[in-house]
């Protein structure tokens, strides 16, 4: 199975595919079998059994995903949260402490702030763009540092180079949620990260029709994470694996269009008199612009903005646009729009939201792959109606 391909586009199509093809099938079939004939496997984790993440559908995805990020290994999981929780519970043991970026995806934030203490784990939130402040937060029991490629919903970029360097210098495991960037825009292993985590529900699958996750990174960590996953049970169903495998093949094409649409829409919004603020790392006015240019190959498909006006005006705008579907999540072929204060960040107190810069009027857009001009025209009519 393991041939080396140079470019990401070729890896998406060919990496991890079986050679020879199974019964000549061009598309990897779905192995809808819970168990497989015993063929002398020595260890529990190698027994061919569906929960042990080693059916042909799992194995092919592991190889393809590792190749995409130029990492040694990967494991797929039942959801993004299964990837994140299993990775964290592998890296950390009772009594350990972790440094975490202060602006996290809501599910991760809840896991850390609500569940960690039941497992004897401690955390300190750090500012992702202030490396000078991190050393003072390290404790004797600090084991890891955890950040996100782009923060949600304000699309800021932490000093990711400094995170990987800081982890190395202090013997910490560096972990990054790379969901918002996708391997097309950012490949953490190339910058020295130990582990990259994904909600494959988003860009990797790209069609808003499954839930899945992945951990990609150093082989020794991935092996430990796979064993923990086998115990915790968050394995990916072969049917979802098949859809993820199919969706991945067009990742480069989709993300290129997501990037292009989001940049053009961000530029249109930034120039419109009805718009107060636009948050997108691809705008030269963004604080994250220089860092994003250095680290990323594209700025991603998600942007946020505020209209001049109150919540009622933001809601009215969302009713007027025709193409975006008002729904949470991101990374699909269709444009989705939400007001984070009522969806992804509704669990945060109003005071915490305000402190994080998430106003009640903020609108987040996951820009799809529709024609750029149709999207811009739709936003224009809704702004000017």
Active-site positions read 51, 105, 177, 202
Site for ligand PLP in 213-242 (CB under 6 A): 213
Q: Is 107 in the site for ligand PLP (CB under 6 A)?
A: yes
Q: Is 359 in the site for ligand PLP (CB under 6 A)?
A: no
Beta pairing, strands 275-279 & 302-307: antiparallel
Q: Is 105 in the site for ligand PLP (CB under 6 A)?
A: yes
Both tokens of 98, joined, read 């972790």
Buried b (16+ CB within 10 A) or exposed e, 50-74: bbbbbbbbbbbbbbbbbbbbebebb
What is the smallest separation between the CB atom of 180 and ligand PLP, expressed in angstroms? 6
Give the nearer residue to ligand PLP in terms of CB position, either 106 or 357: 106
Cβ distance 52 to 208 under 8 Å? no
Give the nearer residue to ligand PLP in terms of CB position, either 275 or 368: 368
Site for ligand PLP in 128-167 (CB under 6 A): 148, 152
What is the smallest separation between the CB atom of 377 and ligand PLP, expressed in angstroms? 28
Helix, strand, or coil (residue 172): coil
Among 16, 56, 80, 301, binds ligand PLP (CB under 6 A): 80
Among 54, 156, 182, 201, binds ligand PLP (CB under 6 A): 201
Cβ distance 104 to 344 under 8 Å? no
Residue nearest ligand PLP, Cβ-based: 80
Both tokens of 229, joined, read 């996953």
Among 92, 163, 211, 248, binds ligand PLP (CB under 6 A): 211
Cβ distance 189 to 39 under 8 Å? no
Q: Is 79 in the site for ligand PLP (CB under 6 A)?
A: yes
What is the smallest separation between the CB atom of 344 and ligand PLP, expressed in angstroms? 7
Helix, strand, or coil (residue 293): helix
The single residue listed with the structure tokens 């004797």 is: 140
39 backbone dihedrals φ, ψ, rounded to 5° = -135, 45
Cβ distance 338 to 327 under 8 Å? yes
What is the smallest separation between the CB atom of 198 and ligand PLP, expressed in angstroms? 8
How far apart CA 382 and CA 318 sit, in angstroms, is 8
# binding residues, ligand PLP (CB under 6 A): 15
Stretch that binds ligand PLP, among 61-69, 173-181, 245-253, 273-281 (CB under 6 A): 173-181
């Amino acid at each position: 199975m393991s041939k080396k391909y140079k470019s990401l586009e070729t890896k998406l199509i060919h990496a991890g595919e079986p050679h020879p093809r199974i019964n000549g099938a061009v598309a990897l079939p779905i192995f809808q079998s819970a168990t497989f004939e015993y063929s002398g496997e020595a260890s529990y984790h190698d027994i061919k059994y569906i929960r042990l993440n080693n059916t042909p559908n799992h194995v092919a995805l592991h190889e393809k995903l590792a190749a995409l990020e130029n990492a040694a290994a990967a494991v797929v999981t039942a959801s993004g949260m299964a990837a994140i929780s299993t990775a964290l519970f592998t890296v950390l043991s009772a009594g350990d402490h972790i440094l975490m970026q202060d602006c996290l995806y809501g599910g991760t934030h809840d896991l850390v702030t609500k569940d960690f203490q039941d497992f004897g784990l401690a955390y300190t939130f750090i500012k992702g763009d202030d490396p000078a402040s991190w050393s003072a937060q390290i404790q004797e029991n600090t084991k890891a540092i955890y950040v996100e490629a782009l923060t949600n919903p304000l699309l800021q970029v932490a000093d990711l180079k400094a995170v990987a360097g800081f982890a190395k210098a202090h013997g910490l495991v560096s972990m990054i949620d790379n969901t918002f960037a996708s391997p097309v825009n950012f490949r953490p292993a190339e910058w020295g990260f130990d582990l990259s985590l994904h909600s494959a529900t988003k860009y990797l699958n790209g069609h808003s029709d499954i839930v899945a996750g992945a951990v990609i990174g150093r082989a020794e960590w991935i092996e430990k994470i796979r064993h923990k996953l086998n115990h915790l049970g968050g394995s990916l169903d072969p049917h979802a694996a098949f859809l993820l495998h199919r969706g991945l093949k067009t990742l480069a094409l989709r993300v290129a269009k997501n990037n292009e649409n989001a940049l053009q829409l961000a530029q249109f919004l930034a120039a419109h008199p009805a718009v107060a603020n636009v948050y997108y790392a691809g705008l030269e006015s963004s604080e994250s612009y220089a860092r994003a240019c250095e680290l990323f190959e594209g700025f991603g498909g998600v942007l946020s903005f505020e209209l001049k006006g109150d919540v009622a005006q933001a809601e009215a705008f969302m009713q007027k646009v025709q193409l975006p579907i008002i729904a949470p999540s991101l990374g699909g072929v269709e444009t989705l729009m939400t007001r984070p204060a009522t969806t992804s960040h509704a669990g945060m107190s109003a005071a915490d939201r305000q402190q994080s810069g998430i106003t009640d009027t903020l609108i987040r857009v996951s820009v799809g792959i529709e024609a750029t001009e149709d999207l811009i025209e739709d936003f224009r009519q809704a702004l000017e109606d």
